[in-house]
Chains A and B, each alone.
Chain A
Amino acid sequence: MTEKLLELKNITMKFGGVTALSEVNLHVNKGEIAALIGPNGAGKTTVFNVVTGVYKPTSGEVNFNGQSVIGKKRYQVTRLGIARTFQNIRLFGESTALENVVTGADVHSKSGVVGAIFGTPRSRREEAAAVERGMELLEFMGLKHRAGQLGKNLPYGDQRRLEIARALATNPQLLLLDEPAAGFNPAEKVALAATIRKIRDAGYTVLLIEHDMSLIMDISDRVAVLDFGQKIADDVPKVVQNDPRVIEAYLGAPADAS
């Protein structure tokens, strides 16, 4: 049955006098592609930040696999199984594409400095495994030929794909994508949609923030809509698309409101 992988209960997020999120209730079911949409400033990225432990919510619960993630350090949240990409691409530009991804894959290695210095068998095993996983993911995202290139030198589309590969390298259960299609032309968006489906089919759960409605409606199983920090809709794409509140949030009230 549909199992709630991620659940936000009554999340309120205040920064000084500004309320970014107000009593938001959201959930993502295992194995689905869920979308989070809303006008600019609605609080979508704030939701991502709260979930990944960047911000501590003013009140409310965030449960992942039934376990609360509030108060956990960011790297611990990642180890629990949540990974993300960023609205403004934040790659390790001075590192190669492979290094970027392997850094993510490292999260599951147990050996560290001591292992590296002494070359312990476990360290060598984990190193090989991490690099192998890195190459697999590069291939999965169609970036194998870029493995040795520096992140900052990659073309824009490849950079976005690399960010996704890096996030996947941490072997998450839940993948948060923040505007993955930003700056893409229609052909690239179609390819991205196929990739996201491929990711879901490989066993990951996806929550994405996007502005491109056709992309959202095409691939999402469910769509939640935020406006001014509050959730105003949460249903299958067809229903949300025709919800008058959602239309109003994006376009303003209809001129002939009666």
Chain B
Amino acid sequence: MADKKHRFNVRDHAATYWENSPKWRRIALGVFFVAIFYSLPFLNNPLINTPGSDFQSVLFYPVGMYVLMAIGLNIVVGKSGLLDLGYVAFFAIGAYTMAILGTRTSLNFWEILPIGIALSMVSGVLLGTPTLRLRGDYLAIVTLGFGEIVRIVAVNIEAIGGPRGIAGIPTPPDVFNAKFTILDPKPYYWLLLTFTLLVIWMVRRMAARRPGRAWDAIRQDDDVAQLMGVNTLKYKVWAFVLGAAVAGAGGVIYASQILSIVPDQFNLNLSILILACVVFGGIGNLWGVILGAALLAFTPERIRFLSQPRILVFGIALVVMMNLRPDGILPKKKREHFDPNWKTVEESGEGEIK
């Protein structure tokens, strides 16, 4: 299958290089890149410094947080093709769990984190099981409604802070002499980065195996997937629940850094923003989504005049991307590859069937 244009395609070359590398080289490259990401907070370069806000703080939020959430939403929208417009709800549930349990019980961050994740997952099951039977557009509007409902409920229930939200959220306890305080975002960033790497690892494992195949089948043709024996409702709910877990964890971590939350910050715009990250990076494409989220989160911080109409820019970006470049910023892999040792490479480069 010939390319339309024989261009130097960075992605293909990178992917080929990776596949042809022996194991030791892959490990070395992996360690190298991970090390780079961990040392990002120490970067002090006028090219990337963010005027108006602290670079290290920006790394944590919005960059790190958007990346994590985009990875989570990518499982739902990108891999499974389920349009979830209320993703912020799970983020809110995680944040509120941290806020409520942190201020009213003696549990610390590490104890609250699994609870927050569990609550988000339960919400995912409760919302998903009845609604994931619905067709795409209906699912979209129902999830949109859910996102708004969570916010409205939070605003109107005084017991959890009402419109003023909750303040005085405790910071996580020290880890290996790293102190989590409002003054230093670095430990938070490293915590978030570690968690994100864990999620990436999980996602890649699933993508290369049965769940990934099921989700790809569901996205491409739900009816036929069922007829090939895939229990589509089960896998759709799983996608939903995993996405919720990721957002919930993000919420817990976020709340423990920002130390006070208000319900109005968990609004539809944030759901759309994360969706824009997924779209921008290329729906379904894990690395594209990470890059897209990082870019979309970072650019308004770096270029200040973009910051105010940020949402307007995101909205326009959605329309433009869908119409002109639906595959996202990283061009889709053009070549295919077959190894007689039964190794094949998935279209999105997310893993191998060995």
Q: Which listed segment binds B: A2-10, A14-22, A123-131, A196-204?
A: A123-131
Residues of A within 8 A of B92 (CB): none
| Residue ID in chain A nearest B228 by CB atoms | A104
Residues of A within 8 A of B238 (CB): 112-113
In whole Å, how far is A36's beta carbon from the nearest beta carbon of chain B? Answer: 18
Residues of B within 8 A of A96 (CB): 336, 344, 346-347
Residues of A within 8 A of B336 (CB): 96, 148-150, 153
In whole Å, how far is A136's beta carbon from the nearest beta carbon of chain B? Answer: 11
In whole Å, how far is B236's beta carbon from the nearest beta carbon of chain A? Answer: 12
Q: Which listed segment binds A: B9-17, B35-43, B95-103, B218-226?
A: B218-226
Contact of B230 among A94, A106, A153 (CB under 8 A): A106
Q: Give the docked Cα–Cα distance between A167 and B221 (Å).
A: 15
Asked if A220 is at the interface of the complex by the 8 Å CB criterion, the answer is no
In whole Å, how far is B88's beta carbon from the nearest beta carbon of chain A? Answer: 24
Asked if B231 is at the interface of the complex by the 8 Å CB criterion, the answer is yes
Question: Interface readout for B241-277 with A: 1 if CB under 8 Å, 0 if not?
Answer: 0100000000000000000000000000000000000
Residue pair B229, A75 in contact (C-beta under 8 Å): yes
Asked if A211 is at the interface of the complex by the 8 Å CB criterion, the answer is no
Residue pair A78, B210 in contact (C-beta under 8 Å): no
The total of Cβ contacts below 8 Å across the A-B interface reads 130
Asked if A26 is at the interface of the complex by the 8 Å CB criterion, the answer is no
In whole Å, how far is A152's beta carbon from the nearest beta carbon of chain B? Answer: 10
Residues of A within 8 A of B353 (CB): 98-99, 102, 127, 131
Residue pair B211, A78 in contact (C-beta under 8 Å): no
Residue pair B224, A99 in contact (C-beta under 8 Å): no
Asked if A83 is at the interface of the complex by the 8 Å CB criterion, the answer is yes
Residue pair A102, B231 in contact (C-beta under 8 Å): no
Residue pair B228, A170 in contact (C-beta under 8 Å): yes
Residues of A within 8 A of B74 (CB): none
Asked if B206 is at the interface of the complex by the 8 Å CB criterion, the answer is yes
Chain A: interface secondary structure? helix
Asked if A1 is at the interface of the complex by the 8 Å CB criterion, the answer is no
Q: Give the docked Cα–Cα distance between A94 and B346 (Å).
A: 9
**By the criterion of a CB under 8 Å from any partner CB, how many residues of chain A are at the interface?**
48
Residues of B within 8 A of A107 (CB): 228-230
CB proximity to A under 8 Å, residues B182-203: 202
Residue pair B338, A111 in contact (C-beta under 8 Å): no
Residues of A within 8 A of B344 (CB): 96, 98-99, 147-148
In whole Å, how far is B78's beta carbon from the nearest beta carbon of chain A? Answer: 12
Residues of B within 8 A of A95 (CB): 213, 216-217, 220, 346-347
Residue pair B205, A119 in contact (C-beta under 8 Å): yes
Q: Give the docked Cα–Cα distance between A157 and B89 (Å).
A: 48
Residue pair A106, B229 in contact (C-beta under 8 Å): yes
Residue pair B228, A112 in contact (C-beta under 8 Å): no
Residues of A within 8 A of B216 (CB): 92, 94-95, 99, 103
Residue pair A75, B230 in contact (C-beta under 8 Å): yes
Residues of B within 8 A of A98 (CB): 342, 344, 353
Residues of B within 8 A of A92 (CB): 216-217, 220-221, 224
Residue pair A116, B210 in contact (C-beta under 8 Å): yes
Asked if B227 is at the interface of the complex by the 8 Å CB criterion, the answer is yes
Asked if B1 is at the interface of the complex by the 8 Å CB criterion, the answer is yes
Residue pair B213, A103 in contact (C-beta under 8 Å): yes
Residue pair B229, A127 in contact (C-beta under 8 Å): no
CB proximity to B under 8 Å, residues A198-218: none
Contact of B210 among A83, A112, A135, A169 (CB under 8 A): A112
Contact of B227 among A78, A113, A127, A130 (CB under 8 A): A78
Asked if A238 is at the interface of the complex by the 8 Å CB criterion, the answer is no
Residues of B within 8 A of A54 (CB): 223, 227
Residues of A within 8 A of B221 (CB): 90, 92
| Residue ID in chain B nearest A131 by CB atoms | B353
Asked if B115 is at the interface of the complex by the 8 Å CB criterion, the answer is no
Residue pair B210, A127 in contact (C-beta under 8 Å): yes
In whole Å, how far is B309's beta carbon from the nearest beta carbon of chain A? Answer: 35
Residue pair B227, A84 in contact (C-beta under 8 Å): yes
Residue pair B206, A113 in contact (C-beta under 8 Å): yes
CB proximity to B under 8 Å, residues A119-172: 119, 123, 126-127, 130-131, 135, 145-150, 153, 166-167, 169-170
Sample 24 A-B pairs with CB under 8 A, ordered by A number: A54-B223, A73-B231, A92-B217, A95-B220, A96-B344, A96-B347, A99-B213, A102-B353, A103-B230, A109-B210, A113-B211, A113-B235, A116-B205, A117-B205, A117-B206, A127-B353, A131-B342, A131-B354, A148-B337, A148-B338, A149-B1, A153-B1, A166-B228, A170-B229
Residues on B lying within 8 angstroms of A by beta carbon are 1, 202, 205-206, 209-214, 216-217, 220-221, 223-232, 234-235, 238, 242, 336-339, 342, 344-347, 353-354
Query: Which 10 A-B residue pairs are closest in the complex by CB-CB distance?
Result: A107-B229, A148-B338, A78-B229, A74-B226, A116-B209, A148-B344, A92-B220, A103-B213, A116-B206, A90-B224
Beyond A78-B229, A92-B220, A148-B339, 5 additional contacts (C-beta under 8 Å) are: A74-B227, A83-B228, A112-B211, A113-B235, A148-B338
